[in-house]
Amino acid sequence: MFNETYTEEQVERVLNGVGIEPASETESNFMVFCPFHNNSRTPAGTVSKEKGLFFCFGCQTSKNLVEFVMAISNRSYFESVRYIKQKDSETDITQLVNKKLYVAPEFVQFDEVLIKRLNNQALETPRAMNYFHSRRITEASINKFALGYSDKQDYVTIPVQSPDGMTIGFVARSIEGKEFKNTPGLPKSKILFNLHRVRSSKFIYVVESSFDAIRLDQVGFPAVATLGANVSSVQMDLLEKYFSDVILVADNDEAGSTMIERIVGKIGSKVSVVNIDKKYKDIGEMSDEEIKKLEYKFDNSIVAMLK
């Protein structure tokens, strides 16, 4: 049953049938209050609409749908399998009508208590602090941006917010290697990292990585991160809405070049490009003093060459 796929309606019927009512939902997951620890403020658990997989970001409990039903309802393995199968063919007219009427919110509040716990764990764990310091991230920034650490997964976490400042999840990166993981359903294409802190600024530096945005912030430059080189139309609309001048500092690679072309093609009249020394892949490899020396010009000739 680990590789089983279900319909969204089937998974929701299963949850409702064992007394777990989704608190909210994203495109791919139901958000639920975790039944395995004291979770009552904001839902810390997710259930995949396709796979039925349950995972709690608070207590780290992970179960497939059969195991979840067994644990919640005290059914045996075979009773749980039959129960889930029965929910495949049930039809609940009221539920179907409510589903049609339901409009999912654009952003869902994430568990602030969990964010604080991960932040405290980072501050108390030498392995996490050493990693942040290796990236030239100061303790002041760790506190300001509520950077965290999960010892169970050995990932550092970076909370992200909606444009109005609501915490909606986090992006995470493994300390060893370069593996990335986001909270399920995180709407990265609809946000810019750090936007809520700098949206009153007339100009903005734009980078790919949240760490690069934090490094710029440390030297006094207002910055946002796109969280990847694939910049969405919504993200460009946000840049146009809030800022008069956009200073783009892309990574020194093919993806960075594509990012420049895309943003300049959309909002070229507002964009200036800062080219960092080719010996660096991105701002993260530069010292604070080198970042402070970055110069930018609002030069239309640069824009013209890029079009």
- CATH of residue 141's domain is 3.90.980.10
Burial pattern 50-67, b for ≥16 Cβ within 10 A else e, equals ebbbbbbbbbebebbbbb
Whole-structure pTM value:
0.72
Checking if the pLDDT of 298 tops 60, the result is: no
59 & 93 share domain: yes
Does the residue 197 lie in any domain?
Answer: yes
206 & 294 share domain: yes
Over residues 156-173, mean pLDDT: 94
Does the residue 70 lie in any domain?
Answer: yes
Checking if the pLDDT of 89 tops 90, the result is: no
Of 58-72, 103-117, 161-175, 227-241, least confident by mean pLDDT is 103-117
Contacts 24+ apart (CB under 8 A), 217-222: 217/141, 217/144, 218/136, 218/137, 218/138, 218/140, 218/141, 218/288, 219/288, 219/291, 219/292, 221/291, 221/294, 222/198
Residues 249-294: pLDDT tens digits?
989 888 889 899 889 988 888 898 888 888 999 998 999 988 888 7
CB 29 within 8 A of CB 93: no
**3-state SS class at 200:** coil
* CATH number of 68's domain: 3.90.580.10
Over residues 187-195, mean pLDDT: 93
H or E stretch covering 182: strand 180-182
HSE-up (13 A, CA, CB side) for residue 46: 21
- Of 130, 273, 145, the C-alpha closest to 197 is 145
Cα–Cα distance between 113 and 299 in angstroms, integer?
A: 46
Range of the domain at 303: 188-307
pLDDT confidence bin for 236, thresholds 50/70/90: very high
Q: Kind of pairing, strands 167-174 and 155-161? A: antiparallel
Which tokens is 32 given? 């639920």
Q: Which residues, other chains included, contact 15 with Cβ-Cβ below 8 Å and sequence gap of 6+?
A: 21, 22, 30, 32, 47
Which tokens is 53 given? 């997989």
Residues 4-35: pLDDT tens digits?
889 998 999 999 999 998 888 888 889 899 99
Give me the number of domains the chain comprises: 3
Kindly calculate the radius of gyration of the chain based on its CA atoms and give it in whole angstroms: 22
193 & 306 share domain: yes
Cα–Cα distance between 84 and 70 in angstroms, integer?
A: 11
Does the residue 24 lie in any domain?
Answer: yes
Residues 96-140: pLDDT tens digits?
566 665 556 678 888 888 899 999 999 999 999 999 999 999 999
120 & 175 share domain: yes
Does the residue 1 lie in any domain?
Answer: no
Among candidate residues 186, 214, 236, the one where a domain is terminated: 186
163 & 49 share domain: no
What single DSSP character describes residue 136?
T
113 & 94 share domain: no
147 & 112 share domain: yes
pLDDT confidence bin for 300, thresholds 50/70/90: very low
- Of 67, 88, 72, the C-alpha closest to 5 is 88
Does the residue 162 lie in any domain?
Answer: yes
Over residues 184-206, mean pLDDT: 92
69 & 135 share domain: no
Give the model's pLDDT for residue 91: 57
Does the residue 2 lie in any domain?
Answer: no
**3-state SS class at 262:** helix
Does the residue 54 lie in any domain?
Answer: yes
Does the residue 253 lie in any domain?
Answer: yes
Alpha helices of 125-251 — where are they, by DSSP H?
A: 126-134, 139-144, 195-198, 210-218, 233-242
Give the model's pLDDT for residue 39: 84
Checking if the pLDDT of 205 tops 90, the result is: yes
Give the model's pLDDT for residue 104: 62
Over residues 146-164, mean pLDDT: 94
Give the model's pLDDT for residue 93: 58
Checking if the pLDDT of 44 tops 80, the result is: yes
Give the model's pLDDT for residue 229: 87
Checking if the pLDDT of 149 tops 90, the result is: yes
